[in-house]
């Protein structure tokens, strides 16, 4: 296989894009990434774009065609991909696969989501229904906030299985909000929380489903945002006149999908997620102990704990202590979700997978704010999932050699 490099990364601030139209979002995503390395879009050979609620919330399909609207991209191999919240990761993989096939030497991966109205307001129930389409019909029946509900069940199962408390999981959100305070791209940059606040049921902070432990502060945000990345082979870097020293290598990547119904499998030890992570490690020639930067799919606090286990940083049921002991902090053993994660950076679903890899690339390049910079960031890993812990995209990043 050819070596693949991240030549450029760019993202919007997550939160609100107000009345920016979908065609405008796609244009901005492409041009922004191109500007980073001062190239014209016409030098891009292949591309892929991921989103999830584009039809249900935006009334827009065939996003590949919008990508091809960008001057210089018409008539090129470009596709739209959807794997729920792993759509962004999937867009990266789809671009990489085209490069591996020899369809070109330079590619672009774009992810976006527009989940809020033009006035910046969200309709939680409508979003709950739209995201609900990404669950099995049998398991979504009767649920209003489908994914918060499904993950409230996972949270309960996790707490029961490992004697973990709501407070233990709340600590993950506290660390993430603290990280987001330093991330200018984070939706929750101005919100800080304590465990006491998370445990206090008042105002918007409520149990989302009566009788289950998941509270508003355990949830990721409803966000607008986009992220884009230029990927290139070695030949592609020459074509772009980008030096390898200014790049990060996408040294490992893998994907795996489990059956959609969560009720029929062990969601606390999701086989697809472990398989994808381990294959990405193997491909990169690294072990979990080598990873000291990571972005994981904390769509809900329980996934912060479980994702830490998938990374191999903690044993089963021990993901939360990894955070409470400070090991996941920017200056800890492995800085996890130093961006603020989906809980505090925000979760524009289609953009998330691209943004995880992009933030890790910035970490390895020493480009994140100093308060969030992992000292001696060496090898990074990402774990992006879609659906009820169903479709996983995992990557490993290394400095380019």
Sheet hosting strand 248-257, strand order edge to edge: 78-81, 46-50, 106-113, 225-232, 5-11, 248-257, 391-399, 380-386, 293-296, 335-336
- Closest-by-Cβ residue to ligand COA is 124
Q: Can you tell me the distance from the alpha carbon of 389 to that of 302, in angstroms, rounded to the nearest whole number?
A: 11
Interface with ligand COA in residues 7-26 (CB under 6 A): none
Smallest distance from ligand COA to CB 54, Å? 15
102 binds ligand COA (CB under 6 A): no
Binding range to ligand COA, per CB under 6 A, among 58-66, 97-105, 125-133, 287-295:
125-133
Smallest distance from ligand COA to CB 123, Å? 7
281 burial level (CB within 10 Å; 0-12, 13-18, 19+): buried
Can you tell me which of 9, 14, 112, 147 binds ligand COA, judged by CB under 6 A?
Answer: 147
Nearer to ligand COA, 117 or 321 (CB): 117
Nearer to ligand COA, 113 or 249 (CB): 113
Smallest distance from ligand COA to CB 317, Å? 22
191 binds ligand COA (CB under 6 A): yes
For residue 272, what are its two tokens? 């697809």
For 27, 97, 257, the CA distances from 223, given in Å and listed in that order, are 19, 29, 25
Q: Can you tell me the distance from the alpha carbon of 178 to that of 170, in angstroms, rounded to the nearest whole number?
A: 13
Nearer to ligand COA, 122 or 212 (CB): 122
281 binds ligand COA (CB under 6 A): no
Can you tell me which of 92, 186, 273, 299 binds ligand COA, judged by CB under 6 A?
Answer: 299
122 binds ligand COA (CB under 6 A): yes
145 binds ligand COA (CB under 6 A): yes
> Could you tell me how many residues make up the chain?
401
Smallest distance from ligand COA to CB 122, Å? 5
Q: Can you tell me the distance from the alpha carbon of 121 to that of 15, in angstroms, rounded to the nearest whole number?
A: 10
Biggest CA–CA distance in the chain, Å, is 58
Q: 8 with 230: CB under 8 angstroms?
A: yes
Q: Residue 145: which residues within 8 A CB-CB, separation 6 or more?
A: 124, 125, 128, 208, 209
Where helices occur in 133-212 by DSSP H, the ranges are 137-140, 146-162, 166-180, 195-199
Number of residues binding to ligand COA, judged by CB under 6 A: 20
From residue 329 to residue 358, what is the string marking binding to ligand COA with x (rule CB under 6 A)? ------------------x-----------
Can you tell me which of 108, 109, 219, 240 binds ligand COA, judged by CB under 6 A?
Answer: 219
85 binds ligand COA (CB under 6 A): yes
Helix, strand or coil for residue 219?
A: strand
Q: How far is CA 394 from the centre of its chain?
A: 10
Q: Can you tell me the distance from the alpha carbon of 173 to that of 344, in angstroms, rounded to the nearest whole number?
A: 8
Nearer to ligand COA, 72 or 117 (CB): 117
Nearer to ligand COA, 204 or 375 (CB): 204
Q: Residue 362: which residues within 8 A CB-CB, separation 6 or more?
A: 9, 368
Instruction: Pick the closest to residue 90 from 396, 393, 397, 395 (CA basis).
Output: 393
Binding range to ligand COA, per CB under 6 A, among 39-47, 143-151, 271-279, 282-290:
143-151
204 binds ligand COA (CB under 6 A): yes
Nearer to ligand COA, 138 or 190 (CB): 190
131 binds ligand COA (CB under 6 A): yes
Binding range to ligand COA, per CB under 6 A, among 155-163, 217-225, 239-247, 254-262:
217-225
Binding range to ligand COA, per CB under 6 A, among 4-12, 212-220, 267-275, 373-381:
212-220
Binding range to ligand COA, per CB under 6 A, among 100-108, 144-152, 307-315, 361-369:
144-152
Q: Which residues pair with residue 108 across a beta bridge?
A: 47, 230
Can you tell me which of 59, 119, 121, 370 binds ligand COA, judged by CB under 6 A?
Answer: 121
Q: Can you tell me the distance from the alpha carbon of 279 to that of 252, in angstroms, rounded to the nearest whole number?
A: 8
Q: Can you tell me the distance from the alpha carbon of 14 to that of 79, in angstroms, rounded to the nearest whole number?
A: 24
Q: Can you tell me the distance from the alpha carbon of 380 to that of 398, in angstroms, rounded to the nearest whole number?
A: 7
Residues that bind ligand COA (CB under 6 A): 85, 121-122, 124, 127-128, 131, 145, 147-148, 191, 204, 208, 216-217, 219-220, 222, 299, 347
């Amino acid at each position: 296989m050819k070596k693949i490099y991240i030549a450029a990364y760019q993202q919007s601030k997550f939160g609100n894009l107000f009345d920016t139209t979908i065609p405008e979002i796609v244009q901005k995503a492409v041009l922004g990434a191109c500007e980073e390395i001062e190239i014209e879009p016409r030098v891009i050979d292949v591309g892929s774009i991921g989103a999830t609620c584009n039809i249900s919330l935006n009334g827009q399909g065939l996003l590949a065609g919008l990508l091809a609207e960008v001057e210089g991209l018409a008539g090129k191999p470009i596709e739209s991909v959807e794997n729920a919240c792993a759509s962004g990761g999937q867009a990266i993989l789809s671009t990489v696969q085209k490069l591996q096939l020899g369809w070109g030497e330079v590619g672009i991966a774009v992810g976006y989501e527009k989940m809020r109205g033009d006035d910046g307001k969200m309709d939680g129930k409508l979003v709950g229904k739209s995201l609900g389409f990404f669950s099995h019909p049998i398991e979504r029946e009767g649920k209003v906030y489908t994914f918060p509900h499904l993950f409230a069940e996972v949270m309960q199962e996790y707490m029961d299985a490992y004697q973990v408390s709501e407070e233990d999981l709340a600590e993950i959100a506290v660390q993430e909000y603290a990280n987001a305070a330093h991330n200018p791209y984070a939706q929750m940059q101005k919100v800080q929380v304590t465990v006491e606040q998370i445990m206090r049921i008042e105002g918007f902070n409520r149990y989302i489903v009566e009788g289950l432990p998941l509270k508003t502060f355990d949830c990721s945000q409803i966000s607008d945002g986009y992220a884009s990345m230029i990927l290139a082979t070695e030949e592609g870097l020459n074509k772009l006149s980008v030096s390898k020293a200014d790049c990060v290598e996408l040294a490992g990547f893998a994907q795996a999908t489990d059956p959609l119904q969560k009720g029929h499998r062990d969601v606390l030890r999701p086989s697809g997620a472990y398989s994808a992570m381990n294959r990405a490690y193997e491909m990169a020639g690294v072990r979990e102990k080598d990873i000291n930067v990571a972005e994981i799919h904390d769509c809900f606090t329980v996934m912060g704990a479980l994702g830490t286990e998938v990374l191999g940083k903690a044993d089963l049921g021990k993901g939360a202590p990894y955070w409470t002991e400070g090991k996941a902090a920017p200056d800890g053993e492995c800085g996890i979700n130093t961006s603020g994660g989906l809980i505090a950076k925000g979760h524009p679903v289609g953009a998330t997978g691209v943004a995880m890899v992009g933030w890790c690339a910035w970490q390895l390049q020493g480009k994140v704010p100093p308060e969030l910079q992992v000292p001696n960031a060496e090898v990074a890993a990402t774990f992006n999932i879609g659906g009820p812990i169903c479709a996983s995209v995992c990557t490993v990043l290394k400095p380019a050699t």
